[in-house]
A and B are shown apart, each in its own frame.
Chain A
Amino acid sequence: MTVFVYQLRLAFKSLRRNPVLSALMVVAIGLGIAVSTASVTIYYIYSGNPIPQKSDVLFHVELDNWHPDKPFDSDHPERAPFQLSYRDATAIMQSDVPTYQTAAFRGEFIVFPDDDQQRPFREHIRMCFSDFFLMFEVPFQYGNGWDEAADQTPESVIVIDSEMNQKLFGGINSVGRSLKIQDRYFTIIGVLAPWRPTPKYYDPTGDPFGKPEGIFMPFNFTPVLEVYSSGSTWGWTPDSITNHEGYMQSEMLWIQMWVQLDSATQKQAYQDYLDAYVIEQKKLGRFARPLNNRLLNVMTMLEEQEVVPDSTRSQLVVSLLFLVVCAINLIGILLGKFLSRAPEIGVRRALGASRSSVFIQHVLECEVIGVLGGGLGLAISVLVLNLINRMLSTGEHLHLDLTMVGAGLLLSLVAGLIAGVYPSWRICHVAPAVHLKMQ
């Protein structure tokens, strides 16, 4: 241990001897670390699991009622459309198999703040069932979600997110306050704590990195308030929709359906339930395509949706290559620095320093440079990520977490090692005699 401390001291001493060169080396490796940590982080966040503790038991429900002659996705004919019609979604909501289940979609409403200073504004609202908050483990700051009774009636209650609470009520506990939406008053029953699942997995049709909606309303207000989807509506039938009743009864697809199935038997039971439902519907002349009811867990669904942008992946590869070039640069500088010290090392070797201790001392020096560069790089990458967040202006949420800080430091250690091994090996093989003669 004391030897290690001694070696470390030597390393720092050597770095101080030529501060400009040392700073240059730290900056060189720091740039590489900054670029690669930033892109590793972006990749890690974009391809991450938004709900790791439950992603295996949450299933996205897909039924294939697309055009009889043509698959929904002609590149992947085995897939089904990833939304349901209103009539199918409400029908399978009657199942008692899943632990939790919710049909959901995004609507748009005009909200009238109580405060006379604010003009009415339009807001995205998620229409969903009470299970939504439980199955997706949505965190509450005040109050909580509504109950099943409120689903059925439906009761005029809503949940708002923390941003909306800030905007409307200045961030106080607003549970029990009322809010006018469209033509009626709703009572606020819960206020969310800040919640930003990334990707926004519960809605595969929208921007996968967008914000959750600001207001959540019982799904059964859909017919009452004649809510249309403000997300995607897909259809293949030629009939045109003239009113909301027609929209609800049509084969148009605009509802997302999620269930929680905790065991394989439960999953099988639900699959059987879906199959039975569709076979029943086939007798009514619907579902002309072959039976294809799919239950996709969170990560499978995200993979099928290809939420990770292509450019994120190329950036990852390129930034790691960039780090390699930075490391090669460091090799060059280190070689120059170490070999110019050859006479001194010759003396140390002649006085009995072993090859391995000379080697270790130099590798350690490189690692010190690596870690300093890593620290600098991490600081720069935080700046870069914040800059990206600001430029995208959609409230993007890129940040370094502990894992990524660890990854950045690990990268810098590896880069220091790669850069340091060869120059250190060269210097520890200096023949003492040659340099002694020259003194």
Chain B
Amino acid sequence: MEFGPIFRALLNNRTRFWLILVEVALTLAIVVNCTSIFLEKRQSFLAPTGMDTDNILAITTEPFGENFADEEFVESVGEADLRQLRSHPSIINATPIHFFPLSGSGSSIGRKAAGSEIDSVGVGYFMVDEHGIDTLGTNLIEGRNFNSSDIELSSDDDAPQNIIITKAFADRVFPDGNVIGSRLSNRDNEITETIIGVVDSMSNSWPRSGFGGQTMLLPGKPRDNREMNYLVRAEPGTIDSLYTELDELLVSLENDRIVTVRTLSEIKLRYFRRTLMAMKIWAAVVVLMIIVTSLGIVGLTSFSVSQRIREIGTRRALGATRAAILRYFLLENWLITTAGLIIGTILTILLNYALAQYAEAPKIDWILMAGGATVLWAAGLLAALIPALRATTVAPETATRTV
């Protein structure tokens, strides 16, 4: 093969060699690191919420009428709302709730297994009634759902409440299993709750945080004269029409309040807006980077071809085929790109390390590194192809004409 001549040619033209090499190496380092950050963010956004997110509506109602000073009035409005919502043909189920999952605002608390020496862990909680699990669309995998007596009991402050927790939280607090019937306590070892059920998964209000899957459901109907909120699970395909309808429906039941209807997906998008923004920026940087580097290789190789017009002509005159010329340039380029990728691998790790020092940087996955290298190999070859094809059109006479 032509490795010998290629090496000697490269030694004669070290500048171009180094420029492409550094460029490819830096590009690999940036592309792989950016992609890795991008994928990490994407994963946190796409991670399953454990709920029927696409079909859930979140409704806030904020009373302002004077009638609402009366607790019984609040109760009656709350019950009427729920009856109306649950009887609507496109609604599967509805539950009262205070804060919304995936919203970034909510309540959390420290809990541990009663009697355990291990320190308590954070858990986000929501208060829902016996329709909560069905409305959320999460699956009960152990134990039982709330019944009306659990809901009644919730108003009695002294007795431990019956609660339902997620598997993620159960695994944290009871690593040995035996969850149903076990009790939780606060940091001061006061018994607080008894577990009656476990659901497979459900995000709390902070899905991006380290404890985003640690959730518990308390029985109750959170409502007062400042806020009465609901989650509604719609039949698939009906969420858009419900979206506009529910506002009027609830206002027609009781006018003296502000009703705001949002979809749970909307709430999730808002919570993740900075993540999504960052994802777009990282993706743009990766794409721009590959384009700029490819253009750079086109430019440098073109220059090298035009500098060697006479040399190419001579080779053609001495019998080299067009294919041989093409092969020569592609091979040369491939060698430089490969050298760049080898240096680039080291640079990638260095950059990853540097970023991790004072910013976020997930560990580099080797598959990702291989993927990045393959893309750059392909881009480098494609970029070299344009000038290399031009080189094959050099006529043999060129060699004699210009000397």
Residues of chain A having any CB pair with chain B under 8 Å: 24, 28, 31-32, 35, 67, 70, 110, 112, 119-122, 183, 236, 238, 240, 309-311, 313-315, 317-319, 321-322, 324-326, 328-329, 331-333, 335-336, 339-340, 388, 391-394, 422, 426
- B245 smallest CB distance to A (angstroms): 18
Mark the stretch among B50-58, B207-215, B302-310, B324-332 that contacts chain A.
Answer: B302-310
Closest Cβ neighbor of B120 among chain A residues: A70
Interface contacts beyond A35-B285, A335-B303: sample of 10 additional A-B pairs, CB < 8 Å, sorted by A: A24-B299, A110-B62, A120-B258, A317-B359, A321-B26, A325-B293, A333-B296, A335-B16, A336-B299, A393-B273
Question: How many A-B residue contacts, CB cutoff 8 Å?
Answer: 124
B299 engages A329 (CB within 8 Å)? yes
B285 engages A318 (CB within 8 Å)? yes
Which residues of chain A are within 8 angstroms of B295 by Cβ–Cβ distance? 24, 28, 329
Residues of chain B having any CB pair with chain A under 8 Å: 15-16, 19-20, 22-23, 26-27, 29-30, 33-34, 37, 62, 64, 66, 157, 186-188, 190, 258, 273-274, 276-278, 280-282, 285, 288-289, 292-293, 295-296, 299-300, 302-303, 306-307, 351, 354-355, 358-361
A328 engages B296 (CB within 8 Å)? yes
A-B contact pairs, 24 of them (CB 8 A): A28-B295, A28-B296, A67-B187, A236-B187, A240-B157, A310-B359, A311-B281, A314-B359, A315-B285, A319-B285, A321-B26, A321-B351, A322-B30, A322-B288, A325-B26, A325-B292, A325-B293, A328-B19, A329-B293, A333-B296, A336-B303, A391-B277, A392-B277, A393-B273
Tell me which of B258, B280, B292 contacts A329 (CB under 8 A).
Answer: B292
B16 engages A332 (CB within 8 Å)? yes
Which residues of chain B are within 8 angstroms of A67 by Cβ–Cβ distance? 187
The docked-state distance in angstroms from the alpha carbon of A392 to that of B354 is 28
Which residues of chain A are within 8 angstroms of B34 by Cβ–Cβ distance? 318
- A17 smallest CB distance to B (angstroms): 16
A119 engages B258 (CB within 8 Å)? yes
The docked-state distance in angstroms from the alpha carbon of A310 to that of B362 is 12
The docked-state distance in angstroms from the alpha carbon of A61 to that of B16 is 60
Which residues of chain B are within 8 angstroms of A394 by Cβ–Cβ distance? 273
Known: A314-B355, A325-B289, A328-B22. A336 touches B306 (CB 8 A): yes
Closest Cβ neighbor of A226 among chain B residues: B226
Closest Cβ neighbor of B185 among chain A residues: A238
Tell me which of A31, A110, A236, A324 contacts B26 (CB under 8 A).
Answer: A324
Q: Is the interface of B mostly helix, strand, loop or mixed?
A: helix
- A434 smallest CB distance to B (angstroms): 14
Which residues of chain B are within 8 angstroms of A317 by Cβ–Cβ distance? 351, 354-355, 359
The 5 A-B pairs of least Cβ separation, nearest first, read: A336-B303, A329-B296, A313-B359, A310-B360, A332-B300
- B311 smallest CB distance to A (angstroms): 15
A318 engages B296 (CB within 8 Å)? no
B303 engages A332 (CB within 8 Å)? yes
A321 engages B30 (CB within 8 Å)? yes
Which residues of chain B are within 8 angstroms of A183 by Cβ–Cβ distance? 66
- A418 smallest CB distance to B (angstroms): 12
Which residues of chain A are within 8 angstroms of B288 by Cβ–Cβ distance? 31, 35, 322
The docked-state distance in angstroms from the alpha carbon of A322 to that of B19 is 15
The docked-state distance in angstroms from the alpha carbon of A332 to that of B336 is 15
The docked-state distance in angstroms from the alpha carbon of A67 to that of B120 is 13
The docked-state distance in angstroms from the alpha carbon of A121 to that of B351 is 50
The docked-state distance in angstroms from the alpha carbon of A238 to that of B33 is 46
- B109 smallest CB distance to A (angstroms): 9
B358 engages A313 (CB within 8 Å)? yes
Tell me which of B299, B354, B360 contacts A332 (CB under 8 A).
Answer: B299
B30 engages A318 (CB within 8 Å)? yes
A325 engages B23 (CB within 8 Å)? yes
The docked-state distance in angstroms from the alpha carbon of A50 to that of B4 is 63
The docked-state distance in angstroms from the alpha carbon of A245 to that of B358 is 45
A325 engages B274 (CB within 8 Å)? no
A311 engages B285 (CB within 8 Å)? no
The docked-state distance in angstroms from the alpha carbon of A418 to that of B23 is 14
Which residues of chain A are within 8 angstroms of B282 by Cβ–Cβ distance? 315
A120 engages B64 (CB within 8 Å)? yes
A339 engages B299 (CB within 8 Å)? no
Which residues of chain B are within 8 angstroms of A70 by Cβ–Cβ distance? 187
A311 engages B360 (CB within 8 Å)? yes
B281 engages A340 (CB within 8 Å)? no
The docked-state distance in angstroms from the alpha carbon of A122 to that of B258 is 8
- A88 smallest CB distance to B (angstroms): 22
Tell me which of B157, B186, B292, B302 contacts A326 (CB under 8 A).
Answer: B292
The docked-state distance in angstroms from the alpha carbon of A339 to that of B13 is 13
Known: A35-B288, A110-B258, A238-B186. A333 touches B299 (CB 8 A): yes
Known: A321-B29, A329-B292. A311 touches B258 (CB 8 A): no
B278 engages A238 (CB within 8 Å)? no
A311 engages B278 (CB within 8 Å)? yes
- B393 smallest CB distance to A (angstroms): 19
Which residues of chain B are within 8 angstroms of A122 by Cβ–Cβ distance? 62, 258
